[in-house]
């Protein structure tokens, strides 16, 4: 039984577990909307554009926390930019996301190329730092996760109303544009939490896979969030075990575990594909 | 009977509301909906021009016009989602925004995301939504268990579906869910944007029975529709628009062949139905959605 308990004797594994739990919770709460409303591309874009903010902060000589704050600022800018571009500029949601994606990501890579130890840092941003999370970063991510959960809970009725029927929500006095922008910001914040811990490439693993799995198991918005968080946590623990014992990278191990769980649920689910494929709906 | 506040001079005399005495009197005293010289649109495009009409309590008004003729714009103006560019819009004695709490609005069903996981009860309870702040928000979570929700579901015969997901219901049942959501606040005025779109004849007939019953209970309704046969049979008035108002009055008087040609821009299949006057079926383009 040692293989079960061994990993957790190390502090970096304990930290990884806590950090991963934040990602699982933030990812599932927001992920329910991402899966149901087809916002995955935004999550992916934010993961990349966060790089720009992180790069600027890094070049300014910032600490790890400042780098995280840079990423947060870039993420929020992306979400607000997408919301405005797709609403006022008559562009489709995808096109709006793509424009922000290209612009900020290119800027990020450009700035990264100015740094001397470019390769090393880029790598840490690509795969995350889950096995070496500094304490300040851990706290920041915890706070961010708490903010995401509390805001989603507080505005649950509005978020759900707008997601279900924006026309009527508007007629009922819901500030629809504000709620839609807010949802995109929440997605962006969750993407940043995931970005710092599992890296650019694996944000989707925590934002989409657990929530998509949950829609195969339960069919109420609230329970999709809860089960999604549970699935994300299981994927996290499983992935950390694999990473520890097989001596492979943690991020990809977690991501692969999440996808394997999704596949199992898909094969075993009586409802199969029906639930997790959202109808294409404009969200902004 | 509808009340013609002003008789636009370009309308033929025959189509103006004749009116039976009592109702007209009532409407003249306090029309529930009053629109005078309304012009509205999107961006720089004028969607409605010079619309004038008034609706008394308990009227069931069929809003008739081709796709893109401004039907949705008119309804959105009446609920306050679109500002009038010119003219007066008054509902229940106030501006649409002031009266919003007493107006029930059912948008076109395209805006609903049926794939979203939510139960019938939860959707009906959405009709009780109002912005709350602080701890008062917690009361919103009790909306789904309120008697009004139960009542609205029973009224439309969907009580047994309360725990079902709306996405797995039939089209007719989904329409009843949306109507129940509209009714849950017990509004005085109902504005329904093509509630019958896509329904088969039998289901639409069921829906009409519900609407007629609501009119009998004193609800004032404006219903955008493409089904002229139903307008003839069940509605107390028809309002024909195609950017301009082309006719307003009791369907048998207002829906003349001439008016229909001018409303829909082409000849329609029109045939006599004994003393009921004309019945007509417009050639509606299926699959073409209205985006006005």
Residues of B in contact with A168 (CB under 8 A): 105-107, 111, 126, 181
A219 to chain B, closest Cα gap in Å: 6
| Per-residue pLDDT at B110 | 79
Residues of B in contact with A154 (CB under 8 A): 137
Q: Please give the mean pLDDT across all residues of chain A.
A: 85
Compute the distance between CA of residue A248 and CA of residue A242 in angstroms, rounded to an integer: 7
**Residue from A152, A165, A277 whose CB has the most chain B CBs within 10 Å, to mutate:** A165
Task: Note whether A222 contacts B: Cβ–Cβ < 8 A.
Answer: no
Question: What is the arithmetic mean of pLDDT over A108-116?
Answer: 75
| Per-residue pLDDT at A117 | 58
Does pLDDT of B275 surpass 70? no
Segment A11-53, tens digit of pLDDT:
888 888 998 999 999 999 999 999 999 998 998 898 888 888 8
Report the percentage of chain B scoring pLDDT > 70.
81
When comparing pLDDT for A218 and A199, which is higher?
A218
| Per-residue pLDDT at A116 | 62
**Farthest-apart Cα atoms in chain B, separation:** 63
> Where residue B108 falls among pLDDT bands split at 50, 70, 90?
confident
Inter-chain contact A172–B130, Cβ cutoff 8 Å?
Answer: yes
Least confident of B85-99, B210-224, B253-267: B253-267
> Where residue B24 falls among pLDDT bands split at 50, 70, 90?
very low
Least confident of A91-95, A213-217, B161-165: A91-95
Residues of A in contact with B126 (CB under 8 A): 161, 164-165, 168, 172
Does pLDDT of A119 surpass 70? no
> Where residue A148 falls among pLDDT bands split at 50, 70, 90?
very high
| Residue B241 φ then ψ, to 5° | -130, 150
The answer to whether the pTM exceeds 0.90 is: no
When comparing pLDDT for B201 and B141, which is higher?
B201
> Where residue B23 falls among pLDDT bands split at 50, 70, 90?
very low
Compute the distance between CA of residue A235 and CA of residue A246 in angstroms, rounded to an integer: 16
CB of B280 closer than 8 Å to CB of B61: no
> Where residue B8 falls among pLDDT bands split at 50, 70, 90?
very low
End-to-end CA distance of chain A: 51
Nearest Cβ partner for A163 among B106, B108, B113: B113
> Where residue B138 falls among pLDDT bands split at 50, 70, 90?
confident
Compute the distance between CA of residue B189 and CA of residue B23 in angstroms, rounded to an integer: 17
Task: Note whether B137 contacts A: Cβ–Cβ < 8 A.
Answer: yes
Number of H helices, E strands in chain B: 11, 11
**Residue from B98, B117, B127 whose CB has the most chain A CBs within 10 Å, to mutate:** B117
When comparing pLDDT for B287 and B138, which is higher?
B138
DSSP secondary structure code for residue B30 in this structure: -
Least confident of A130-134, B149-153, B210-214: A130-134
Residues of B in contact with A164 (CB under 8 A): 112-113, 116, 118, 123, 126
Segment B53-76, tens digit of pLDDT:
999 999 999 999 888 889 999 999
End-to-end CA distance of chain B: 28
Inter-chain contact B126–A168, Cβ cutoff 8 Å?
Answer: yes
| Exposed / middle / buried, residue B145 (Cβ in 10 Å: 0-12, 13-18, 19+) | exposed
Inter-chain contact B111–A157, Cβ cutoff 8 Å?
Answer: no
Does pLDDT of B291 surpass 60? no
Does pLDDT of B258 surpass 70? yes
Q: Which residues in A184-229 belong to E strands, given as ranges?
A: none
Residues 6+ apart with CB under 8 A from B175: B109, B195, B196, B199, B203, B207
Inter-chain contact A164–B137, Cβ cutoff 8 Å?
Answer: no
Q: In terms of Cα–Cα distance, which of A228, A222, A234 is closest to A190?
A: A228
Task: Note whether B104 contacts A: Cβ–Cβ < 8 A.
Answer: no
Nearest Cβ partner for A36 among B116, B126, B129: B116
Distances (CA, A) of B197 to A164, A196, B227, B284: 19, 49, 9, 11
B207 to chain A, closest Cα gap in Å: 20
Question: What is the arithmetic mean of pLDDT over A141-155?
Answer: 94
Least confident of A267-271, B60-64, B247-251, B278-282: B278-282
Inter-chain contact A215–B115, Cβ cutoff 8 Å?
Answer: no
Does pLDDT of A8 surpass 90? no
Residues of B in contact with A36 (CB under 8 A): 113, 115-117
Residues of A in contact with B107 (CB under 8 A): 165, 167-168, 171
Least confident of A148-152, A197-201, A247-251: A197-201
> Where residue A73 falls among pLDDT bands split at 50, 70, 90?
very high
| Per-residue pLDDT at B17 | 36
Segment B183-213, tens digit of pLDDT:
998 999 999 999 988 888 888 888 899 899 9
Inter-chain contact A36–B117, Cβ cutoff 8 Å?
Answer: yes
B196 to chain A, closest Cα gap in Å: 17
């Amino acid at each position: 039984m040692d293989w079960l308990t061994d990993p957790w004797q190390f502090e970096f594994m304990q930290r990884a577990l806590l950090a991963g739990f934040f990602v699982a919770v933030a990812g599932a709460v927001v992920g329910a909307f991402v899966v149901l409303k087809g916002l995955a591309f935004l999550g992916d874009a934010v993961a990349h554009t966060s790089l720009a903010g992180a790069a600027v902060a890094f070049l300014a000589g910032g600490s790890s926390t400042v780098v995280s704050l840079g990423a947060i600022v870039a993420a929020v800018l992306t979400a607000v930019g997408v919301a405005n571009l797709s609403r006022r500029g008559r562009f489709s949601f995808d096109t709006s996301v793509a424009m922000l994606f290209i612009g900020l990501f290119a800027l990020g890579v450009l700035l990264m190329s100015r740094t001397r130890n470019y390769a090393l840092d880029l790598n840490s941003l690509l795969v995350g730092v889950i096995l070496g999370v500094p304490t300040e970063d851990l706290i920041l991510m915890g706070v961010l996760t708490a903010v995401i959960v509390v805001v989603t809970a507080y505005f649950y009725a509005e978020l759900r109303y707008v997601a279900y029927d924006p026309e009527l929500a508007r007629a009922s006095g819901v500030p629809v544009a504000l709620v839609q922008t807010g949802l995109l910001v929440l997605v962006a914040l969750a993407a940043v939490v995931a970005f710092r811990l599992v890296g650019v490439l694996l944000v989707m693993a925590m934002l989409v896979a657990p929530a998509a799995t949950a829609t195969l198991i339960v069919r109420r918005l609230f329970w999709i969030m809860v089960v999604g968080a549970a699935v994300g946590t299981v994927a996290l623990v499983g992935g950390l075990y694999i990473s520890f014992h097989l001596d492979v990278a943690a991020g990809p191990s977690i991501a692969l575990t999440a996808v394997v769980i999704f596949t199992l649920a898909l094969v075993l689910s009586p409802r199969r594909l029906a639930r997790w494929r959202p109808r294409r709906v404009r969200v902004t | 009977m509808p009340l013609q506040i002003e008789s636009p001079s370009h309308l033929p005399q025959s189509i103006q509301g004749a009116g039976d005495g009592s109702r007209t009197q009532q409407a003249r005293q306090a029309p529930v909906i009053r629109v005078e010289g309304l012009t509205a649109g999107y961006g720089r495009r004028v969607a409605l021009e010079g619309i004038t009409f008034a609706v008394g309590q308990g009227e069931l008004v069929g809003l008739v016009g081709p796709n893109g003729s401004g039907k949705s714009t008119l309804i959105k103006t009446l609920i306050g989602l679109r500002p009038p560019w010119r003219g007066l819009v008054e509902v229940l004695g106030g501006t649409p925004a002031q009266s919003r709490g007493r107006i029930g609005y059912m948008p076109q069903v395209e805006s609903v995301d049926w794939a979203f996981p939510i139960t019938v009860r939860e959707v009906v309870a959405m009709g009780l939504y109002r912005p709350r702040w602080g701890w008062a928000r917690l009361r919103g979570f009790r909306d789904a268990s309120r008697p009004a929700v139960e009542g609205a579901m029973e009224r439309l015969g969907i009580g047994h579906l309360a725990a079902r997901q709306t996405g797995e219901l039939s089209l007719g049942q989904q329409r009843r869910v949306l109507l129940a959501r509209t009714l849950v606040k017990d509004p005085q005025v109902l504005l329904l944007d093509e509630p019958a779109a896509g329904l088969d004849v039998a289901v639409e007939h069921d829906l009409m029975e519900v609407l007629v019953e609501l009119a009998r209970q004193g609800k004032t309704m404006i219903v955008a529709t493409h089904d002229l046969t139903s307008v003839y049979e069940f509605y107390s008035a028809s309002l024909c628009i195609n950017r301009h108002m082309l006719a307003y009055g009791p369907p048998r008087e207002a829906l003349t062949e001439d008016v229909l040609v001018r409303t829909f821009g082409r000849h329609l299949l029109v045939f006599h139905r004994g003393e009921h006057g004309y019945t007509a079926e417009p050639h509606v383009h299926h699959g073409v959605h209205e985006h006005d």
